[in-house]
Structure 1
Amino acid sequence: MQESFKRIFIGTTFFTATLVVAVVGYGLFGWTLLDSIYMVVITIFGVGYGEVNPLRTPSEKIFTIFVIIAGTSSAVYTVGGFIQMIAEGEINKALDSHKKNKDIENLKQHIIICGFGRMGQILAHQMQEARQPFVILDRDSIRISQAEALGYLAQIGNATDEEMLQAIGIEKAKILATVLPDDAANVFITLTARGLNPKLKILARGEFPTTEKKLRLAGADEVVLPATISALRMASLITRPTAIDFLETKEERRQLNELLSHVDVQIDELAVPVGSPFVSKTIRELEVRGKGGFIAIALRKQDGTIVRNLDHNTLLEKGDTVIVMGHQGDIPQFARANELKSKLRYRGSQVG
């Protein structure tokens, strides 16, 4: 493409220079400006109206031959640049399309993302970060262009069409995520995908809770309800801010989930109010008083600072909040016995 632009630039420059030199040359032969311009135009473009003034001397004839050759050549050269640019564009499109089709054909154990809206974009970004092979299917050409601009493998088409799902390798895929905002379309896609690949794991989006049953009957393994999750998340931020902040740390959350997957535990916030017997006591003393029923895993100071790497010899101050993990029932009982306020309860099965 750069070569064609260069060719157009050179051709246009030479053609312009030819016009200027030709007009000046005929002016030197004693022609008027209008006659010179008219002569140049009919000579270069081959109109064939004849000379404006007779060409009497050999120099006038030779100069006119030069104008014809230079003007025609530069015009043809410039037009050739435009044709080359168009041809290269079409060829590049064909090559890109062929390469994309080959890349899709070579996919296996990949993830199919149906829909490149807000959820699809976030999902694709996460899959790219996790280096998971995936392909996007959407019928909106603008969204497909956006996906390809980000370097994603994407195909335009209707995800409810069996042929389109087969074209992106559904038989070899391991997961299909249908995240369209249309529940009916997600149900139909799920049903179609399940018929094409019984072993495929299907994750489906549902806008309404009543759709979950339909999606599962259609063959979805997991159903995600964004509205419900968002509402619960907002409620958690309002009612349980300390634990949410703590759990949002990826590494600590991963380690915590490993522990919670093996035992039935809960996470509570224990506030240390004014007048609490634990003011000026260490975290270790708090754990000892709990008789092994829980362990402290984080501390939130009164100013909002969260201390995650605890020193168990740290002294508690009024207004502190201790995040503890222990067996279900032990922590609330301890809080009641020691006049501590228990703010939060997460059971192990609920932490994602």
Structure 2
Amino acid sequence: MWIFRVDEPRLGGIRIREWRRRARNTINLLVLLMGGTTIGLVVLDQSSSPFPDKLFTAVWNGVNLITTLGAFSGFNPPQKWFMVLAMFATLMIGGFAVSKLTGMLSGDDVMAYRENRIMERKFEHLAGHVVVVGFHALGEHVARHLHEAGEIVLVLVGDQDQAHRAADSGHMVVLGSPDAFDDVLKRARLDSARAMVVTTPDGNNNLAITLLAHTLNPSLAIAVPGENPLRKGLLESAGASNVIIADDIVAKALVSKLTTAVKGEI
């Protein structure tokens, strides 16, 4: 799946605009060459054919010249010398195109620019999705279970490796700097999201993300892990709908298993 990079490399857009400018210049040169070839062949045509026929033949030869098809009609000696010059000009323009256009669109910055444009179009129609913040072990498990349940998952990360792992797992991804994660949240379409699950291992980071997400969409359902009852209260005050204390769940599960085992022995 694609990755949207909030800190998009500016060079990608610059390269594409420059490539388009050079491509336009190349096309303009080819059009001028075809026009000049057509005029030259008409002027040098010594046959008694009507002018429309001369013009059509000249246009045909001009198109064959710039497309390198080579299906030329017959030439008189002056036209042949003229075509030698026209062919040399074609080679010069072709060399210019190869040297100026080849390889410009294959860099990582250009790929990132293209990915962002694709993701922007996807975001226009994104709704009812579940946002998963972080793609460590917990976030990866949550995203996988949501995906298996048929949910549309959007993963938000501040780490390049996590972004690639999430994308390779088939999730849409928004990647941004951890120092400016509010920009990442603003790109997540929280206004149309169904829920958000915060899974980063940093408790303070989870609190800040919960607060900002609740500010952006007060009705958004937010699930987040908490370390203790005090932290749970803080997260709920920040806007969390569900705060899960992992130690309590593990403890209850262990006691339940132990109780079941003891009862089984009795």
Aligned to 2:238: 218
Report matched runs for 1:1-352 at 5 Å: 84-85=102-103, 87-89=105-107, 90-157=109-176, 158=178, 161-241=181-261, 341=266
Q: CA 1:207 to 1:85, structure 2 compared with 1: closer, same or farther past 3 Å? A: farther
Deviation for aligned residue 1:241: 4.5
| CA gap 1:114/1:209 in 2 versus in 1, 3 angstroms | same
TM-score (norm 2): 0.56
Percent of paired sites with the same residue: 25
What amino acid is the match of 1:233? A
Q: What's the counterpart of residue 66 of structure 1? A: none
How far residue 99 of structure 1 moved from its aligned partner, in angstroms, is 1.2
Instruction: Report the number of matched residues.
Output: 171
Tell me the alpha carbon deviations over residues 220-259 of structure 1, each in whole angstroms, 9 at most, x when there is no partner.
11101223222332333333259xxxxxxxxxxxxxxxxx
User: By how many angstroms is 1:98 displaced?
Assistant: 1.5
Question: Once the 2 structures are TM-superposed, how far is the Cα of residue 212 of structure 1 from its aligned partner?
Answer: 0.6
- Following superposition, the deviation at residue 151 of structure 1 comes to 1.6
Structure-2 change in CA distance of 1:150 and 1:210 (3 Å): same
Query: Cα–Cα, structure 1 residues 207 and 173, in superposed 2: closer, same or farther, change >3 Å?
Result: same
One-letter identity of the residue aligned with 1:87: L
Larger helix fraction of residues: 2
Cα distance, 1:143 vs structure 2? 0.5
**C-alpha displacement at 1:85, in angstroms?**
4.9
Q: Separation in 2 of the partners of 1:141 and 1:223?
A: 28
Q: Unaligned stretches of 5+ in structure 1?
A: 1-75, 243-268, 272-340, 342-352
Cα-to-partner distance string for 1:20-64 (whole Å, 9 max, x where unaligned): xxxxxxxxxxxxxxxxxxxxxxxxxxxxxxxxxxxxxxxxxxxxx
Q: Mark the structure with the bigger radius of gyration.
A: 1
> Which fold has the larger relative contact order, with Cα–Cα distance below 8 Å and residues 6 or more apart in sequence?
2
Tell whether the 8 Å contact from 1:104 to 1:135 is kept in structure 2 after alignment: no
TM (norm. structure 1) is: 0.43
Q: Compute the RMSD of aligned alpha carbons.
A: 3.1
Q: Which runs of 5+ in 2 are unaligned?
A: 1-94
Distance 2:216 2:180 in 1: 12
Give the match for residue 60 of structure 2. Answer: none
* Segments of 4+ moved more than 6 angstroms: none
Give 1:159 shift: 9.1
